[in-house]
Amino acid sequence: MLLQVNKFCHFHYNNINEIIDDKKNIADTILNRVSEELNNKSVKEFLYSYYYNNFRVEGSYTDDIKVLTFVGLVPKIILAQINTHRTLSKNAASSRAVPFFKNIMNIIENPYLPFFTKNKKGMQGDLVDDRDEYLTCLEKHISLFFQVLDFIKENTDWHKQNINRYVEPFVLVPVVITGNVGISGYAWDQFVYLRASEAAQNEIGVIASFVKNCLQDNKTFVKRRVHAPMNIAGKNEDLETLFNDAIFYLKNGHLKPDYRIMQFISVFGSIARVSTMTSAKSIEEDYNLALRLYKEQHMSPFEHVLIYKSKNKFFSNIKGYMSYRYILENDKKV
């Protein structure tokens, strides 16, 4: 799976009714966990550690050209702000794709914990940093979530693409974001400049802060011509061969490759599964999904695997590195 989620709470239910019937226990469990954390940390320290726990990055460079992929659980409410950064390639979970019960289980086991702010003039409120005040706000937030569930319980014949919309203010979703680093005013540099700021909403600021810290860590970037947002078995020099061989087998899906090529191609299926918040049971399952994505021209998952080509050229939104999507759509040879 692309992102191994560290659950904040653990629950076992079989249906929505069981969750609603046990809502007091769920609320108490979440509040007690947060209360324990706040015994040793400030509100801001806790929230940053909470979100950082499910963030990770992978960086690559060649000839001083850098690319970075961020993978993490982020609040659904700030996806619109993330999407304004058009020079970054993005994939995220879809409310239309995630089964409703699975969505609710994700919410209670890894809840969206807001950065509550006090009302004032302007776009940015003052952070609620008092422990007891924060817990009171969170209790109301959880209560509102269960009020929404009570409403949905009366409309269980609605499709997930409808009822999932009502719980979007409470959900964390996995995202994959890829772009250049080191180009002033562009991609990740612009994101960090604008969002790692006191003027930014805290929920997007925590992402920018994490990325900013990673950019300052020399260990973040590995010299390699092939960049992928997850570990693929093999040496870097082997990855170039796999990269090229995989193109042939994607275009000729009726031919079956060897295991290592299948493993490489399966990465695209794994990236695509962020939309459904699921994981495959096997490499072959992700491989078959990747073939179907290519055949049906669902191309966004192919934007996160790259190969270095030229220091001075842009290939769509990425400088220096050419994405699989660019290669496949432009029928380029690598």
pLDDT digits (tens, 9 = 90+) for 279-326: 778 889 999 999 999 999 999 999 999 999 999 999 999 999 999 999
**Distance (Å, rounded) from C-alpha 103 to C-alpha 173?**
9
Which strands form 221-223's sheet, in the order they lie side by side? 89-92, 172-181, 65-75, 55-62, 221-223
What would the two tokens of residue 320 be? 């220096």
Q: Where are the alpha helices (DSSP H) in the chain?
A: 16-21, 23-38, 43-52, 79-83, 100-109, 131-153, 160-163, 187-195, 202-215, 236-251, 259-272, 283-295, 324-330
157 or 151: which carries more pLDDT confidence? 151
Residues of the chain with CATH 3.30.1360: 16-221
Residue type, 64: D
pLDDT band at 233 (very low <50, low <70, confident <90, very high): very low
Fold held by 16-221: Gyrase A; domain 2 (3.30.1360)
56-82 tens-digit pLDDT = 999 999 999 999 999 999 999 999 999
Does residue 234 register a pLDDT over 70? Answer: no
SS3 172: strand
91-148 tens-digit pLDDT = 999 999 899 999 999 999 999 999 999 999 988 899 999 999 999 999 999 999 999 9
17-29 tens-digit pLDDT = 999 999 999 999 9
pLDDT of residue 154: 84
pLDDT of residue 333: 65
Cβ pair 202, 118 in contact under 8 A: no
pLDDT of residue 142: 98
Give pTM, 2 decimals. Answer: 0.94
**Distance (Å, rounded) from C-alpha 333 to C-alpha 322?**
11
Name the residue among 251, 246, 275, 240 with its Cα closest to residue 263. Answer: 246
pLDDT of residue 1: 53
Contacts 24+ apart (CB under 8 A), 236-241: 239/264, 240/307
Burial class (CB in 10 A: 0-12, 13-18, 19+), 298: middle
SS3 22: coil
What one-character DSSP code corresponds to residue 229? S
**Distance (Å, rounded) from C-alpha 241 to C-alpha 34?**
48
3-state secondary structure 28-64: HHHHHHHHHHHCCCCHHHHHHHHHHCCEEEEEEEECC
In Å, how far are 44, 135, 207, 236, 263 from 129, measured between CA atoms? 7, 10, 19, 46, 47
